[in-house]
Structure 1
Amino acid sequence: MTGNAVLPQSRPLPVRTEVAIVGAGPTGLALAVTLAGAGVDFVLLDRQGEGANTSRAAVVHARTLEVLDELDPAGALSAELIGRGVPVSRFRIRDGVRPLAEIPFDGLRTAHPYALMVPQYETEAVLLQRLRALGGDVHRPYEVTEVAQDADGSGVTLTTATGETLHASYAVGADGGHSTVREAAGIGFTGSAYEESFVLADVAMDWAPGPGEVSLTFGAAGLTVVAPLPGKHYRIVATVADAPAEPDLAFVQRLLDERAPGQATVTALAWSSRFRIHHRVADRYRAGRLLLAGDAAHVHSPAGGQGMNTGIQDGYALGRALATGQLDAYEARRRPVALRVVALTDRMTRVATTRNPALRAVRNAVLPVLARVPALRDRLATELAELDYR
């Protein structure tokens, strides 16, 4: 919601359910679709009005597309999303304008050997469409302010900002890095913050490398990622020591002129934001009948575009665990994945943003050599695509 405005509720809140899901982003939607397909009763709550989200994530990796195929074996779910995006078959690393390494995705052992560039709102729209086809929907805007496990341990009571209550056998926090459910569960969120701020912008521009690759550029000023989006737009993610709250077109152009000179002419700015990133993992994914998934359980650098993908896979794994009564396996399976993703993205960020001239020289000399080793190149492509997490 915006400010303290109170928006009318689109659907009345039930009194009871088996699973209450707090947060209808990609993680919560994936969980709801999984439960709906398995016939498990749930209520999916979100504090925002429909269409009020902003576009953060912009890549759907191969393993996530496989999950969509598992959620809809007919293939319509993944096909719909693919039709809205731009498949990209390579990831190229540069130092300024100098190419250092290329990571190809077209050799991946999957039905989806590419990275799909598509705005997060499209991913959410496709998941919501599938949810509604299965008879489910989102209850919004309902902001959950209190979550308490019942004294007898038989369930959970959730209270909204308007004083309504919902009783559930389980409650899942898919409500982001500042999770109300995680706080109520008393689960620690171990890690720290990056010193730099991150700039995110969607632009129309003439970009010399073109729309056939995702470009990750190293430089003394910081990390810069440029990725194609539908409609001849590009997503820019960059570390900046002190970025303005709403970077304008001139700021984005100066940033690209400094980091990729002669490569970009920005013609329009569709949307921009500044944000700060932590790298943290929840100490546990479960406390009694309270469970965590997605950003409520792990946050990390946007390097590699892992966040939303890991969250959708969390939602699917948790939905299957709830449907089959195998909850003990959920944390054992998914928390090690989060630790691995956080470690990978942290290494990528620190390698990309080092300002030590000696380390930069070693990095720039070693990367081209390593990238010519097929086994290492394929290993990194598989890791980025999250195919090791099947």
Structure 2
Amino acid sequence: MLPERTDVLIVGAGPTGLAAALTLARRGVEVTLVDQREEPAVTSRAAVVHAYTLELLDRLGAGAPLVARGLRSARFNVRDRDRVLVNVPFDRLPTRHPYALLVSQSVTEEVLTEQLAAVGVRVLRPYRLTGLHHDGDGAVARFDGGTVRARWVIGADGIHSTVRELTGIPFTGPAGSEEAFVLADVRVDSTLSRDSASIFLARGGPLVWAPLPDGRVRLVATVADPPVEPDVAYLQRLLDERGPRRRPDRVREVLWSSRFRLHHRVAETFRAGPVLLAGDAGHVHSPAGGQGMNLGICDAVDLGETLADVLAGAPETRLDEYAARRRPLAQEVAGFADRLTRLATVPPAARPARDTLLRLVSVLPPVRHRIALRLSGLNQRRSARTAVPGNRTGG
């Protein structure tokens, strides 16, 4: 049952909402977390948790149990069919997690939900938000099962955020930025190493190949007109066209598959009075590079710590600073993902020059290290607050 009042209402129980709720609960804040789905999703888009995200999850007690359920990737490869153009090593990163953790988003959500339950918070389902307005005392949220007055509301309800729409925050992006993607978990016969993920740069668009626990492989590809449920034959054609050529992969089984479309968009502000945005409610971009869920969790921890400080007596301007920090990061990540897509889709005449340039980059250790810092999210240490309790100077 919904409470009549709460300090913080979080709408959306994906990784972002769960991480925000856990951050606040561990700071002793009264938090209510709701979701419109009857059950958590068992399939999911994201399949990688990067080093900086794991550092933040360690603060919440969720890092170790998640690592135990994932597969560690020592490197990330940029490939053109059989050629490795750039090898990005993670094993020398300045972190306790010198790897990328390959794990389904649904498992990440399970771990965060378990940690929330341990501190006495559960997800309230299914409640669909139908109205939201705010006044001098906070906000009033109407659901199809009741009304909640909250001092603060966090919109973590994804791309089609009802919180964002009801608040009237514009969600804008460049014209013509829509992309269509195929997403699948498969079992394949492959000679590719299971200790690394790869992105294949192909004329038709990038193809991400990422191993997961239990012998599965996650495939993500930009395509022009994907089918509703890509089957073995369709995914085999994608691998034949974009994957290894000399020793091609063979798809044995499709465990699940889907398609989705998205525009590259960023909210014009991450705060409107007592309403705050985090995760996909504030930014949407290509999944190339595996940045979306990671950025959302980083938003959540930053916002949770900031909001806990404000509830403890810090000035509300701290929340404006949160919005000012996170929006440029979202724009930068969107641009980074777009550059990966454009690298993949250069015209055939320009591909030799592109490949030569990338191979030159690959022999420069400082450049590879910078790329690893960027992919891992560790570059955010300098630009994001995400302070631990008692340390207000940043991560």
Residue 373 of structure 1, CA deviation: 0.8
Match of 2:189 in 1: 206
Q: Residue type matched to 2:225 in 1?
A: D
Q: Residue type matched to 2:4 in 1?
A: V
3-state DSSP of counterpart to 2:173: strand
Q: Residue type matched to 1:226 in 2?
A: W
Q: Distance in 1 between matches of 2:262 and 2:178?
A: 9
Residue 53 of structure 1, CA deviation: 4.6
3-state DSSP of counterpart to 2:8: strand
Asked if 1:191 is matched to 2:180, the reply is no
Residue 263 of structure 1, CA deviation: 2.1
| Structure 2 unaligned spans of 5+ | 311-317, 382-395
Q: Residue type matched to 2:105 in 1?
A: Q
Aligned residues: 371
Identity of aligned residues (%): 53
Match of 2:335 in 1: 343
Paired residues of 2:173 and 2:265 also in contact (CA < 8 A): yes
Asked if 1:239 is matched to 2:232, the reply is no
Extract structure 1 runs of 4+ deviating beyond 4 A. Answer: none
Asked if 1:265 is matched to 2:250, the reply is yes
Q: Residue type matched to 1:36 in 2?
A: A
Normalising to structure 2: TM-score of the pair?
Answer: 0.92
Q: Distance in 2 between matches of 1:34 and 1:51?
A: 20
Match of 1:9 in 2: none
Residue 361 of structure 1, CA deviation: 2.3
Q: Distance in 2 between matches of 1:34 and 1:221?
A: 41
3-state DSSP of counterpart to 2:96: coil
Match of 2:295 in 1: 310
How does 1:1-390 map onto structure 2 within 5 Å? 12-72=1-61, 77-150=62-135, 153-162=136-145, 164-192=146-174, 194-260=177-243, 261=245, 262-325=247-310, 326-354=318-346, 356-390=347-381
Q: Residue type matched to 1:117 in 2?
A: L
Paired residues of 2:41 and 2:106 also in contact (CA < 8 A): no
Q: Residue type matched to 2:338 in 1?
A: D
Q: Distance in 1 between matches of 2:48 and 2:160?
A: 23
Residue 266 of structure 1, CA deviation: 0.9
Normalising to structure 1: TM-score of the pair?
Answer: 0.93
| Structure 1 unaligned spans of 5+ | 1-11
Q: Residue type matched to 2:336 in 1?
A: L
C-alpha RMSD over aligned residues: 1.2
3-state DSSP of counterpart to 1:361: helix
Q: Distance in 2 between matches of 1:206 and 1:88?
A: 19
Residue 110 of structure 1, CA deviation: 0.3
Q: Distance in 1 between matches of 2:238 and 2:379?
A: 35
Paired residues of 2:22 and 2:115 also in contact (CA < 8 A): yes
Per-residue deviation, residues 287-338 of structure 1 (Å, max 9, x unmatched)? 1111100000001100110000000111111000110013232112222211
